[in-house]
Structures are given as structure tokens and as C-alpha cells.
Amino acid sequence: MVVLAPRRQGAGLMLGLNPRPRPAVARPRPGQIAVVTGLYAVAGLNLIPHLAPAVLGYFYLLLGYRAVATRLPRLEPGRWILLPLALVGVILVYRHYGTLVGQEGGSALLTLLLALKLLEIRSPREVRLLAMLFAFWLVIHFLFDQSPWVALLLGALLILDMAVLADSSRRLPWPPRQVFALALRLSLQALPLTLVLFILFPRLDAPLWSFLPTEDQARTGINDWLEPGSVSELVLDGSLAFRVRFEGPIPQAEGLYWRGPVAWNTDGRRWQAARNDQFSGLAAVPAARSGDPVSYEVSLEPSRQRWLFALDLPLGTPGKDAHLTHDFQLLAAEPIKETRVYRLTSAPALDTGDLPEAQRTAGLALPANVTARMRALVAQWAAGSPAPAAVVQAGLRHFNQEAFYYSLRPPRLGDNPVDEFLFETRKGFCEHYASSFALLMRIAGIPARIVMGFLGGERNPLGAHLIVRQSDAHAWVEVWLEGQGWTRVDPTAAVAPERIEPSPELTGLASGRPLRLRIGGVDAWGRLVHGLRLFGDALDENWYRWVLGLDRARQQALLERIGLGWLREYGLAVLMVMASSLVMGLLLVALLHQPASARPDPLERLYRKFCSRLARAGLPRKASEGASDYGRRLALWHPGLAAGFLAFTERYARLRYGRRPVGRGDLEPLRRELQATLGMLRKARR
């Protein structure tokens, strides 16, 4: 909130500036305004990716004005400057967000209002107010990013903010090291209670920020359509797609096909998912599985899409808010707008049974741009053996033995990309091989469809989990064979290894994709950087797993580990209150047993020295006696020293309880009076 304080009349009011600092109001000590402004400036850097550039630019413009006004107090703004500045901020926020509330609009408005409040600092009280508001402002940063790195940065800034708050609350200046030590000590004292509340507080099923309205933003990821270039562009994105924890050992990389959208329809260039009414009434057919099932847990990053990726093929759904389609695609009820954790079980091999007529029709549909030489190629394969399995193997041999190249940057293709790829360019990525192979299989009378998802992943030895990045995006083909059902075929893997063109852009993204990318030659520096990336990923994964993702189920699992699994909501609340009371009681006992003379301020040390000398002289200060009363009693005890006693105690009382902050220059006269008074006392006692 921007508080507009009245200004004195005159030319300064006409200009909206303060003509000179008001002597009646105590000013903050030098450096306090600069430190508070610096804290806001550093914390604002974390909002650069999340707020509009114009809003952040105006924020730093106001901070710059604050810095100039600190050096030149005559430029401090009055109400006639603050009012238009505030109006400009409101208009700027509304123009970019169309609202003054919500996650982004409200955060932007609060940020600008705090910058305007910084322009009104005139007293130590306002420094304390801005320091307290800074702590609340840091909370909105977690609405945009909850990573451990942001938490570490904001935690350090919060400790510095506590140091500013402690320094502005004292009338005597402390050395910066001593102020920072006090803030750090207070933070450490609060840590036990924080841990007790964090572990024992009854959890919700989702974090609090997940209940806030979120803006729909585009997010890079797998699409529900496929055409040349759609996956190869995605492979240049090394951002995280999801993490996986297996209950047992991680399967071999060749079996790590992460199933996503399934494309059925094609116009000869683009493959798309089925229409909503195309397979109405069909459901996933219970399949006969072979091999040991694999159980795992997926932490899926927000994608703004509905599909949930699963190891090929899933045996069920992760909950009531998801369903398994007829083509074994997992779909959530709502788009994934926050990190979602789900558990699944998959089988390495499945017999999907008979082929429904609707799937057979869709799996054999051909576009209008099928050429004669494409049909001739298929006829050549079938001439050796017309059996569907033999035709599939003939197609794979064709890609392996002919001069086909795996390239991330293939030549551009025209209106008939499959024909041009097969007979002219012969350079492509997985979308080229999958789309051409699926179309050739349909020409041969074999039902085929394309599955899009991810292949492989990188094992993080520090976290014992699998990292699947956007750069692991892949597309493969499924053909229906009698007696086997839908069978996975990866034509991209058939390309001979010596015909894989290296791509320097992928050097930093390679992550154990033996079927597609074999990148070596990483030097020691590259291994060091890669190791740091793995360390950061392990920290991120555990941060989400045990901090952000500590929901009710994880909390219960943690309590069972420490022998408190029998507790439920009410018992947990009672234990939380008891443990919190115990922690605070122990802390109180520790504070009460601290020495009374633990680090007093310089003013207090001088007064204690005075009282100690008088106590040894036979006239100690009473516990209920103030400095002025003590001085008057001393004056009656020894009228010859009354002037010295009264001068010292009155000066001490003015400094201790006066409105003006105590500076280092105020202590020297008090120290001289103390020495003079004690010297006269020694002479009098002789």
C-alpha cells in the first residue's frame, strides 16, 4: 500500500518534492535505505521470466529513483509525484494482464506498489515496515517457481532481510557482522519448530498453490499429430519431460518406450489422432501378457496436455481421474498444469487379441497421394513372401541395407513427403521413417498406426531414477499381426549405425539413446558439466519428492518409517501441538539461561559499568529504579558529586529513551562523563 504523507507548504509542495529533510522526524541510519532497496532489486531478478518486461522495467526504474533520492534528499517525491507514478503502475499492469488480480496481475501490481512504498521511506519505522513487507513479497515468488535453487536464493535474502529488520529496530548501530550473526541465530532457533510443523502438520492432497487459478501457457512437448520436422525440432530441447522411479532394476534401454498419443489418420503428409467419434464404444481389450510386469512411479512435468506417458504397454490406470483408451493411450481427465505423480504397472509384451473392424478400417486407410513406385516397392517385398511378418522384415531390411541416413536436419520435402523421402532424399529423422513405414505397411494390407512418445532416458546414479527429457522424443510404428495383435516396430532403429549423421547440437543432450543417437568423445570438462547436471537433477527430484510433493500419502509413509504410522488426522494434530510446545519450551529455557551480560549494546555497557562501580562503593541500584531516580538518589548520598551523577544519568536516559537514533558520536560525551564521574568518586573515597 502506498501511504501519501502530507508535506509542508511552499515551493517544494508545488513541485511535489521535499525541499529539505524535516529535522523533527528521525531519519534512518545511513545505508539502511540502500540495503532495503538492494534486497528488492536482487529478489526482483527472480521474477524476470514470469512478469512482463515493461512491468519489471518500471519496477527497476522506481528503484533507481529511490537510489538517487537517497543521495539527494531534496528529490524525494511528494504526493503530487507519487499519485501519477502509482497511476502509471496500475495502467501498466492492466494493459499487460487485463486484470489487477490473479497470479500474474496481482503479483505485478503488488511488486510495483512495494517499489512505490520504497519512495516514501522517511523514518526507521518505514524501514522496518518495508523489511516486513519484503518477507511477504517473497511468498509470491513461489507461485511461479518452487525449485530448490529459488528456495535457496530467497532463504538467503530472507536472512539478510531479518538482519535489516533487527538493525532498524535498534537505536544504537551494530557492526554488520554482529547484526548478520543475530539474524542467522534467530533463523537457526526457528528451524526446529519449522521442521516439526512441516513433518507433523496434517497434509492436503495437493499443495496450496495448486488451488490457485493458473493461466494457460504454451509448453513445448509431444503433439497429437506427426509430420516431418515435428519431433526433430523437439529433440533440440533438453528440458525435463518426466522422471521415473522403478520398484526393481531399471529395464534395458531397448525396452524403454514411453507411450503417448497414437496417430491413425493421414492425408499423406500429416498423421493425426483419431476423431472423437471414430472409435466410439471401443475400450482397451484385456490382453494376455508375457514376461514379468514392471512397476514404477512417474513424476510428470506440466505439459498443458491430457496424456500420461507410460511404459509400453500399461496394464491399468493410475486413478479414477484417468482412463485407458482402446489403443492403450493413458488420458487424464484434465490437462496437466502442475507436476503430477502417478504409479503404474506395465508388461513388456502383450497379445492385444482380435482386431475390431473400426480399427481395421482406420489402420488400412490410404491417402490420395500414394504413388505407383510406392506400390511397386511393396509388391517387391511381398514377392519374396506374402506373409505379413515377412513383409515387415523386408521393409526393415530395406531401410538397413539401402542408403538411408539418420539426420536431424534432412532436406525439405514437398507435397508428397513419403515418396520424396523413400526415393530421393533418403535422409530423415524418426518421423520420416515412422510415417513412411506405416504407409507402406498399409499399402501391403497390414493395419498400421504411429505411436508418439519417448525412447530411453538417462539413469541418474545420484538419485537412482531415470531422467526422460524432451530430447528423448521419438515416434515408432505398430502393425497388427495375426496371433500377436498390435506389435511394435521401430524402423528408425533399422538404420545402419555408420549412416547416422552426427549433430553437434545434441552433444549436451545425449542421454542413453542407443537406438537413435550414439554420441561419444566427451572431454573431461563435458563430463564435469554433465555430472553437475545430474547432481542438480537429483536435488530437484528429492526436493519435489520430500518437500513440495509431501502430500498425505508421502507423509503417512514417512511417519511409518519413524514408527508413527498409526497416527491419523486428529492424533497427528495432537502430536504436532505437543511437539511444538516441547520445542518452544526447550528454546525458552535455553534463552532464560543465557548470561545477562551477553553482548549488551555500547550504551548499555557504559551504564552497567557505572552501576557496577557504585555498587562496589556501597550504593547499588534497585531493581525497580530507573536511571533518573538512581541519579537523584546518588546526588543526595554525596552532594559533592551530585553534578556528575545527574549529568551522566540524565544524558543516558535521553539517549536510551529519546526519539532520535543514537549515533557513534553520542557515545563519546557519555564515556567522558563516566570517566570524570568515576575519577571524582575515587578521589572522594580516598
The set of catalytic residues is: 430, 474, 490
Query: Which of left, alpha, beta for 174 (phi over 0: left; psi -120 to 50: alpha)?
Result: beta
| Closest residue by Cα to residue 51 from 134, 144, 166 | 144
Q: Positive or negative, the Cα torsion across 120, 123, 124, 128?
A: negative
d(CA 316, CA 350): 13
- Identity of residue 299: S
Count CB neighbours of 230 within 10 A: 20
State how far the alpha carbon of 401 is from the alpha carbons of 386, 389, 396, 494, 631, in Å: 20, 18, 9, 9, 106
d(CA 458, CA 511): 5
- Identity of residue 429: F
| Closest residue by Cα to residue 121 from 25, 43, 39 | 25
CA-based diameter of the chain, in Å? 129
Q: What is the 3-state secondary structure (H, E, C) of 327-392?
A: CCCEEECCCCCCCEEEEEEECCEEECCCCCHHHHHHHHCCCCCCCHHHHHHHHHHHHHCCCHHHHH
d(CA 342, CA 310): 10
Residues 302/341, Cβ–Cβ less than 8 Å:
no
Q: Which residues contact 103 (CB under 8 A, 6 or more apart)?
A: 143, 144, 212, 213, 214, 215
Count CB neighbours of 248 within 10 A: 9
Please name every residue paired with 427 in a beta bridge, in sequence order, or none if there are none. 405
DSSP 8-state code for residue 145: -
- Identity of residue 2: V
In which residue are the cell numbers 547440437 written? 505
Query: Which of left, alpha, beta for 436 (phi over 0: left; psi -120 to 50: alpha)?
Result: alpha
d(CA 412, CA 409): 9
Burial group, residue 381, by CB count within 10 angstroms (0-12, 13-18, 19+): buried
d(CA 564, CA 557): 9
| Closest residue by Cα to residue 262 from 322, 318, 309 | 309
| Closest residue by Cα to residue 265 from 374, 356, 357, 364 | 364
C-alpha cell at 544: 519435489
Q: Positive or negative, the Cα torsion across 461, 463, 465, 467?
A: negative
| Closest residue by Cα to residue 266 from 450, 479, 444 | 450
How far the first Cα of the chain sits from its last, in Å, is 64
- Identity of residue 202: P
| Closest residue by Cα to residue 313 from 476, 434, 459, 468 | 476
Residues 108/55, Cβ–Cβ less than 8 Å:
yes
